[in-house]
Amino acid sequence: MATTVEKPAITESISIHPPRRLLFGPGPSQVHPRVYRAMAQPVVGHLDAYFFEISGNVQRMLRQVFGTQNELTFVISATGSGGMETAISNFVQPGTKVVSFANGFFCDRMSEMARRQGSELVRFEKPWGEVFGDEEAAEFIRSQKPQVVMYVQAETSAGAFQRGDAICKAAHEVGALVIADCVTSLGAMPVEVDKTGIDVAYSCTQKGLSCPPGLSPITVSPRAAEWLKARETPNRSWYFDLKLIADYLTVSHRYHHTASATMFYALHEGLTLIEEEGLEDRWERHHKAHLEFVKGVEAMGLEMLVPAANRIWNLNTPKVPQGVDEAKVRATLLKEHGIEIAGGFGPLAGKIFRIGVMGPLATSDHVHGLLAAFGKALRGAGYGR
């Protein structure tokens, strides 16, 4: 048979030419070079034995970073907000009484999702940047007697870390499940799902795990899994139905959706990097880089929004000094140094910078480079005149 269908004549050059950035924003954070190399490995099918080998390893390594023994620990094929919707749509039904600890933008997103599920929502509100004390949190839960309690462990909008021990203890006393947003903390600082008592925790790949965005790790306690098993009405969402996804990824390997081998390769590599470094060493590295950064900005005369005890290690929120045009600072950093940082928004618009120091950038060299550029940009925007 004569060859009739030829390979198309196309060039070798690609269409993607992004500017070089140092990603010091709240995420996506700098991706480790090994993760890019992992993604260049050829795709296998979503039902291939090799895919399930990678997925199995990912599950094992995720248990480590989450600090959990939960069997149901795997990955949702969507970004972090898809993980949030998975957690909420599976455990919040029409009429479910939900208590939401609300001290930032992502708490509000959780509230909005719970509302859309038809829940009876009660919010305990605090200004962005503050956290809830053990006593007041427990008291609120005991008085409200909800079925589900939600909080954000590391609030990306404000830089505050919410401890969850008292929340979980009180929630379990009244028979409630606890959903915690660990989007920003996972991989960069202790999440401690089991020790804290969290029932459902989800995260993302593009912050503490040094991968591109695209997947959402999630973990579900045996208690929550039992609850889910007994749930009588199906989740309105088929795509985020944990029962179906768990069956595909952990039990029967029966097809649910076409998981992206490429994205799983990336996450596998990101988690392997953490394992090689050692989880506690990695946390320590982020903690030290955080302290170094804070020391540096305080030496410049800036104040941090969040008190030292409540700070997220990998996301710093210094206040914008009076008289400084924060948008100009960000524009200068981006234009002159290729450095991305973020500003505040909502009630914190114009009031804080949001500066992430994570993954490959959480080293003294990078922190010093950042501080030098930041100081220069601040002076250029009117600081210290």
Residue 124 gets which letter from DSSP?
E
| Closer residue to a copy of itself in complex, CB, 175/338 | 338
| Token pair listed for 136 | 């007041």
| Closer residue to a copy of itself in complex, CB, 131/263 | 263
For residue 159, give Cα distances in angstroms to 7, 153, 229, 313, 319.
Answer: 52, 10, 36, 9, 11
Roughly how many angstroms between the first and final C-alpha of the chain, as a whole number?
Answer: 80
Closest CA to 149 of 198, 184, 106: 198
CB 86 → a copy of itself: shortest distance, Å? 9
| Closer residue to a copy of itself in complex, CB, 133/338 | 338
Distance CA 26, CA 206 (A): 9
Q: Which residues pair with 120 in a beta bridge?
A: 97
* Residue 86 · residue 242 · CB < 8 Å: yes
Distance CA 169, CA 138 (A): 8
CB 318 → a copy of itself: shortest distance, Å? 18
Q: 């949030």: which residue's tokens?
A: 84
List of residues 6+ apart from 4 with CB closer than 8 A = none
| Closer residue to a copy of itself in complex, CB, 320/362 | 362
CB 381 → a copy of itself: shortest distance, Å? 20
| Closer residue to a copy of itself in complex, CB, 226/365 | 365
SS3 128: coil
For residue 170, give Cα distances in angstroms to 83, 166, 175, 222, 288.
Answer: 24, 6, 9, 18, 33
CB 28 → a copy of itself: shortest distance, Å? 5
| Closer residue to a copy of itself in complex, CB, 250/262 | 262
CB 360 → a copy of itself: shortest distance, Å? 8
What sign does the CA torsion over 353, 132, 119, 248 have? positive
* Residue 166 · residue 137 · CB < 8 Å: yes
Closest CA to 63 of 256, 279, 281: 279
| Closer residue to a copy of itself in complex, CB, 222/347 | 347
CB 91 → a copy of itself: shortest distance, Å? 14
CB 188 → a copy of itself: shortest distance, Å? 13
Distance CA 202, CA 106 (A): 13
| Closer residue to a copy of itself in complex, CB, 126/207 | 207
| Closer residue to a copy of itself in complex, CB, 170/261 | 261
Q: Where are the beta strands (DSSP E) in 203-352?
A: 216-220, 315-316, 339-340, 342-343
CB 169 → a copy of itself: shortest distance, Å? 29
CB 54 → a copy of itself: shortest distance, Å? 7
What sign does the CA torsion over 201, 202, 205, 206 have? negative
